[in-house]
């Protein structure tokens, strides 16, 4: 069951609603024109708008999924079956380049599966996640969450949590509950989502010792969101130097959590969505629209030594997609449209074969034309107003499905971008 578009379609009605917008001015200086809480849920088909037939679009989506999930094991697929246990079949998605498994990829895979009505793929990935990455030990700093990295045989490589995985897990589980209905045990999708979401907000601080960078260290960790700033943390184990990752900010999801999650946290998630919308203009460069990989809660750059944290790099690819989907689904903050226009203007200035890593003021650090960045720049067209946006959609259309050693991250961003740009990435 899809949520329906409840915003009046008549242009005069739309104009009246926009006239009632609430104007706020954040620290960035970019005026926030906040539309009413209409709940757009508008699934634009950018490919169709560009002149492609529905048959062509269906073939492109199905072909990309077939290659990335069921293609040649040596050069195409990122999805691998891994036997079964008492809960059923197991499967993982692997980062080919680094030969590991990450909650990022598993949760992205589950989201793709629920959007494409692939319950067997969804369940196998969720079973692998719960079997090998979920932390059951109540005295462990990551208790109730998922270790973010493991070997393909399930042996953990990290004891830490990367909250972007939990964010996608929760939303994919809610979608699965609404699309397919909840089952039993780990397949009670609604209960699993509620429990994980509640822990993301409330879990107690837990201290424990484990090996980190070849030494035994005492680590303390708690919830995945900072209660004061209403923002997702880069890591809950960074309590002494708390900061965030702009690409982890998913206000479109937070709006859903405020409606579907535990009622006592509804207000918090609404405020978290608003905090992220205010954060995007603060953390992006006012000329290029580029954002850093990591940043402080006020949008300033980190002074600590995290390699590449102050540059636009791989994590940062995703941020424009986050604010653009938020605009498409909720239409609450017109600044998201300005941000997409600014970012696309920058990449247009770089030519058709632009690089993939930059300083925030636009100096090229890596010249490789990354398919994943091409994909997200097309998703930015969901919010963009300038006619150049169609060129970015067409660039994605003409980009082949990623293969080879870069196919994990590039491929998953590509697959989700096809769904976003075809109107097939929906609220269930």
24 in helix, strand or coil? strand
Six-digit token pair at 34? 């906040």
DSSP-assigned letters across all residues of 306-371: -TTTTSB-TGGGGHHHHHHHHHHHH--BTHHHHHHHHHHHHHHHT-TT--SEE-TTS-EEE----H
Give CA–CA dist 348/402, Å, rounded: 22
SS3 percent helix, strand, coil of the chain, rounded to 5, is 45, 15, 40
Inter-residue contact 407 to 68 (CB < 8 Å): yes
Sign of the Cα pseudo-torsion (147, 151, 154, 156, in order): negative
Give CA–CA dist 268/229, Å, rounded: 10
Catalytic positions, written as ranges: 104, 315
Scan for tokens 């242009």, then name that residue: 11
């Amino acid at each position: 069951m899809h949520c329906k578009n409840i915003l009046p379609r008549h242009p005069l009605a739309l104009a009246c609603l926009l006239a009632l917008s609430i104007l706020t001015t954040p620290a960035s200086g970019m005026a926030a024109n906040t539309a009413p809480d209409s709940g757009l849920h508008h699934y634009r088909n950018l490919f169709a708008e560009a002149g492609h037939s529905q048959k062509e679009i269906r073939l492109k989506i199905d072909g990309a999924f077939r290659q990335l999930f069921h293609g040649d094991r040596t050069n195409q697929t990122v999805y691998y079956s891994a036997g079964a246990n008492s809960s059923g079949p197991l499967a993982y998605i692997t980062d080919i380049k680094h030969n590991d498994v990450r909650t990022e990829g598993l949760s992205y895979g589950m989201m793709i599966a629920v959007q494409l009505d692939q319950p067997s793929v969804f369940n196998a990935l969720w079973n692998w996640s719960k079997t090998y990455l979920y932390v059951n030990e109540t005295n462990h700093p990551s208790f109730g969450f998922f270790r973010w990295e493991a070997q393909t045989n399930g042996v953990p490589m990290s004891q830490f949590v990367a909250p972007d995985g939990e964010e996608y897990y929760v939303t994919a589980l809610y979608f699965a509950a609404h699309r397919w209905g909840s089952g039993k045990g780990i397949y009670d999708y609604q209960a699993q989502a509620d429990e994980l979401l509640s822990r993301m907000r409330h879990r107690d601080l837990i201290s424990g010792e484990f090996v980190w960078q070849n030494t035994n260290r005492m680590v303390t960790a708690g919830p995945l969101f900072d209660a004061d700033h209403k923002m997702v943390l880069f890591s809950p184990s960074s309590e002494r130097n708390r900061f965030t990752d702009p690409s982890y900010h998913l206000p479109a999801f937070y709006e859903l959590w405020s409606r579907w999650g535990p009622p006592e946290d509804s207000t918090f998630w609404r405020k978290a969505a608003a905090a992220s919308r205010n954060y995007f203009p603060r953390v992006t460069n006012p000329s290029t629209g580029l954002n850093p990989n990591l940043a402080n809660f006020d949008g300033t750059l980190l002074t600590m030594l995290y390699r590449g944290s102050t540059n636009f790099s791989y994590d940062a690819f995703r941020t424009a997609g986050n604010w653009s989907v938020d605009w498409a689904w909720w239409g609450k903050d017109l600044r998201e449209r300005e941000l997409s226009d600014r970012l696309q203007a920058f990449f247009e200035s770089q030519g058709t074969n632009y690089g993939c890593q930059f300083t925030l003021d636009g100096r090229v650090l890596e010249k490789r034309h990354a398919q994943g960045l091409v994909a997200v720049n097309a998703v930015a067209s969901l919010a963009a107003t300038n006619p150049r946006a169609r060129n970015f959609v067409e660039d994605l259309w003409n980009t082949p499905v990623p293969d080879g050693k870069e196919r994990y991250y590039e491929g998953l961003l590509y697959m989700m971008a096809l769904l976003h740009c075809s109107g097939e990435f929906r609220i269930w």
